[in-house]
């Protein structure tokens, strides 16, 4: 059971980084920003979603 949950967490982090990089690239068209946002992954995705709903 432990190995299953750790692989799920690992996959989730990878997906979050890919999603953050995709969103960042579509908005800024900058590799530097995409890398920075990829490092923050889910934090940037949540920030983007909250900011998008306000505007």
Summarize pLDDT for 17-53 with one digit per residue, the tens. 999 999 999 999 999 999 999 999 999 999 999 998 7
Domain count, the chain: 1
Full domain range(s) for residue 16: 2-54
State the pTM of this model: 0.68
Half-sphere exposure of 55 (CA within 13 A, CB side): 5
Which of 31, 36, 41, 35 minimizes the C-alpha distance to 11? Answer: 41
Q: What pLDDT does residue 3 have?
A: 56
Does 8 score more than 60 pLDDT? no
């Amino acid at each position: 059971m432990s190995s299953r949950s750790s692989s799920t967490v690992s996959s989730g982090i990878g997906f979050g980084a890919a999603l953050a990089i995709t969103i960042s690239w579509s908005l800024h068209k900058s590799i530097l920003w995409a890398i920075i946002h990829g490092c923050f992954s889910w934090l940037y995705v949540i920030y983007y979603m909250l900011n998008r709903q306000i505007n």
